[in-house]
């Protein structure tokens, strides 16, 4: 492993990191954005190894790529459940009056979407 | 002479592993149904990881590090197909599978 | 010129406060209800129904303003950070003006703390106070989740249709072979904080992930045998208390020059480096309980 090869790998990983970060921010649906966020953590763990800090690499791999994604997904499910229970309680939803200020609404679970195929 | 044999064996395994990863990547991009993509990614990724770790083991030699590599191989072979199986089961049960895409239906079940 | 209000997007029931505000602002989606306002003076020019600035808000101009401001703020922040980082010395170089403490750590770290892994020696000996703060942050996170998710009884929650994977044959049979090794690996990483890369946070994260896997493969009855809410409370509070008491003793004896009975041992042994091993265990337990606690609280509203 020549130093130039290590530098090239480091630079390409960093570029991938930026791409993953931007992609996780601008995605409209939340579940694919969560998957991209998990891949961000994985690439970050590789970058930590190249920067010679194995403590941080182990922690980033265990927390970011493992537990954090799971917890985010559980939170999304809970949010979807709460949203549906509010809709069922209040009748038809749609106080669309103040929705100008909010960003696009996304649905939490993408299990039944046709256009994901 | 022994070094050359080790080198060629590990190079052979590495090339097979990388070809498998190439097939996995192309398959994930080109298929349109979810179950097809899962099939491509699980099988080809597992074979690729196995071949690459075997190449690394043969190249390094009989060492403590290669024992750890074998542990990595065992873990990936155990966990990656199981997780893909679970995802596929959820997708089959919960998703709207089109009739045309289920030519061989091992689980049986009603037409959706 | 008149500006027609845009059609409302399907609101069947609006809230009372919104109705009042609309009346007070004197424009209303409901054209039948008369606004409560005194009779205006007849103007010469036909005044619009709504002022120009308010119509901007309804036409969505504030959204464009928000986007422009967001881009400008991001550019300013990013350029500030990049300029700061480029002024710092390059990675791997010696920088005498910045690293006065680093030379001290690297030269005398192993002999003062007794830890082969300097990072663990720093975060649990030189900077043990900051690590205590981090553990408190984890504890606070779980407490906040416990408080916020328990407001309702949880009875009127619509449960999403989900496929229960608890009794799946493949999962349970495969995890029977894998979960013991996950736990052993987590305990190994936890106990070897002062000898090799690892420590409390990494080991605790791996242990937490192992408990999550156990609970999703075998159901809550199996993982409820050794992690319940009472166990969680006892473990986290006693771990943090032990951290406080133990480290206070070391601070006190070290600051006053007294002799503490916790020696440093020979570097390289498992029982060495003073209090680093017990503190790693405490921090790891807190982290594992945090991960599992948040998972359970989001899955069902009880622990």
Q: Domain residue spans in chain A?
A: 3-90
- Across the interface, of C163, C171, C175, the residue whose CB is closest to B94 is C163
Q: What average pLDDT does this structure show over A95-105?
A: 42
Tell me the pLDDT band of C6, cut-offs 50, 70 and 90: low
Closest residue in B to C167 (Cα) is B86
CA closest to C165 among chain B residues: B86
Q: With 80 as the cut, is the pLDDT of residue C278 above it?
A: yes
B100 within a domain of the structure (yes/no): no
Task: Give the minimum alpha-carbon distance from C43 to chain A in angstroms, rounded to a whole number.
Answer: 31
In a domain, B73, yes or no: yes
**Over pLDDT 90: what percentage of chain C?**
26
Whether residue C12 is predicted with pLDDT greater than 50 in this model: the reply is: no
Q: Is B28 on the interface with A (CB under 8 A)?
A: no
Is the distance from CB of A67 to CB of C209 less than 8 angstroms?
Answer: yes
pLDDT tens digits, C164-205: 777 788 888 888 888 999 999 999 999 998 888 988 899 999
Minimal-distance CA residue of chain C relative to B83: C171
Average pLDDT over residues C36-47: 63
Q: Can you tell me the mean pLDDT for C200-215?
A: 92
pLDDT tens, residue order, chain B (112 aa): 888 999 999 999 999 999 999 999 999 999 988 888 999 999 999 999 999 999 999 998 888 999 999 999 998 998 899 989 888 888 877 766 655 455 566 666 555 4
What's the burial of C138, exposed, middle or buried (CB within 10 Å: 0-12/13-18/19+)? buried
The residue ranking higher by pLDDT, C227 or C8, is C227
Q: Per residue in C78-133, pLDDT tens?
A: 999 999 988 887 777 777 777 788 888 888 888 888 888 889 989 998 889 999 99
Domain assignment present for B9: yes
**Subunits close to C (at least 3 CB pairs below 8 A):** A, B
Kindly list the residues from chain C whose CB atom is less than 8 angstroms away from the CB atom of residue A66: 205, 209
> In the prediction, which pLDDT does A116 show?
39
Q: What is the mean pLDDT of chain C?
A: 81
Instruction: State the distance between the two ends of chain B, measured CA to CA, in whole angstroms.
Output: 62
**pLDDT of the residue at C83:** 93
- Chain B nearest-CA distance from A105, in A, is 22
Report if residue B6 sits inside a domain. Answer: yes
Distance from CA of A109 to the nearest CA of C (A): 10
Residue C260 has pLDDT above 50, yes or no: yes
Per the domain annotation, does B101 fall within a domain?
A: no
Give the gap in angstroms from C-alpha A63 to the nearest C-alpha of chain C.
Answer: 6
Of A55, A78, A101, the CB nearest to C198: A55
Q: Return the pLDDT at B104.
A: 60
The per-residue pLDDT for A112 is 43
Option in B79, B86, B89 nearest C178 (CB): B79
| Whole-number percent of chain C with pLDDT over 70 | 79
What's the mean pLDDT in C213-227? 86
The ipTM estimated for the assembled molecules is 0.80
Contact C165/B94, CB-based, under 8 Å?
Answer: no
Q: Which residue of B has its CA nearest to C173?
A: B82
B54 domain residue, yes or no: yes
| Residue B53: domain span | 2-94
Q: How many domains does chain B have?
A: 1
Q: Which residues face C269 on adjacent strands? A: C267
Q: What is the mean pLDDT of residues C134-157?
A: 79
The verdict on residue B22 lying in a domain is: yes
Query: How is residue B60 written in tokens?
Result: 């390094």
pLDDT above 60 for C65: yes
């Amino acid at each position: 492993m020549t130093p130039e090869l290590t530098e090239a790998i480091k630079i390409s990983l960093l570029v991938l990191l930026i791409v993953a970060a931007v992609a996780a921010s601008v995605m409209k649906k939340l579940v694919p954005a969560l998957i991209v966020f998990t891949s961000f953590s994985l690439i970050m763990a590789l970058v930590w190894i190249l920067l010679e800090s194995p403590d941080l690499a182990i922690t980033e791999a265990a927390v970011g790529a493992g537990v954090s994604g799971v917890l985010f997904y559980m939170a999304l499910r809970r949010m979807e459940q709460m949203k549906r229970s509010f809709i069922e309680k209040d009748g038809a939803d749609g106080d669309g009056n103040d929705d100008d200020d909010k960003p696009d609404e996304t649905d939490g679970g993408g299990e039944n979407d046709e256009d994901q195929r | 002479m022994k070094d050359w044999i080790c080198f060629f064996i590990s190079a052979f395994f590495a090339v097979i592993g990388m070809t498998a990863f190439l097939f996995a990547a192309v398959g994930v991009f080109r298929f349109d149904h979810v179950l097809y993509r899962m099939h491509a990614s699980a099988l080809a990724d597992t074979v690729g990881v196995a071949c690459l770790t075997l190449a690394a083991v043969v190249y390094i030699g009989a060492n403590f590090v290669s024992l750890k590599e074998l542990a990595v191989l065992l873990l990936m072979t155990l966990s990656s197909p199981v997780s893909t199986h679970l995802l596929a089961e959820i997708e089959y049960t919960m998703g709207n599978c089109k009739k045309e895409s289920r030519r061989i239906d091992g689980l049986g079940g009603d037409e959706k | 010129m008149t500006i027609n209000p845009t059609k409302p997007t399907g609101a069947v029931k609006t809230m009372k406060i919104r109705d009042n505000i609309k009346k007070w602002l004197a424009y209303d989606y409901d054209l039948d209800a008369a606004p409560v306002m005194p009779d205006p003076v007849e103007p010469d020019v036909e005044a619009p129904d709504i002022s120009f600035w308010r119509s901007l808000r309804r036409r969505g101009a504030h959204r464009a303003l928000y986007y422009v401001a967001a881009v400008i703020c991001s550019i300013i922040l990013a350029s500030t950070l990049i300029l700061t980082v480029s002024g710092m010395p390059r990675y791997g170089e010696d920088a005498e003006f910045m690293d006065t403490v680093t030379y001290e750590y690297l030269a005398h770290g192993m002999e003062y703390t007794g830890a082969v892994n300097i990072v663990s020696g720093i975060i649990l000996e030189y900077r043990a106070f900051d690590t205590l703060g981090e553990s408190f942050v984890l504890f606070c996170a779980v407490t906040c989740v416990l408080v916020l998710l328990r407001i309702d009884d949880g009875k009127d929650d619509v449960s999403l249709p989900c496929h229960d994977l608890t009794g799946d044959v493949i999962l349970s049979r495969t995890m029977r072979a894998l979960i013991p090794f996950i736990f052993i690996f987590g305990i190994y990483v936890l106990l070897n904080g002062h000898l090799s890369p690892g420590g409390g946070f990494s080991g605790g994260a791996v242990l937490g992930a192992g408990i999550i896997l156990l609970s999703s493969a075998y159901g809550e009855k199996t993982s409820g045998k050794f992690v319940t809410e009472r166990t969680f409370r006892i473990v986290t509070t006693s771990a943090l208390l032990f951290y406080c008491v133990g480290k206070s003793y070391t601070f006190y004896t070290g600051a006053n020059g007294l002799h503490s009975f916790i020696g440093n041992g020979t570097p390289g042994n498992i029982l060495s480096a003073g209090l680093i091993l017990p503190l790693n265990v405490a921090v790891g337990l807190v982290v594992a309980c945090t991960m599992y606690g948040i998972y359970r609280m989001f899955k069902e509203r009880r622990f």
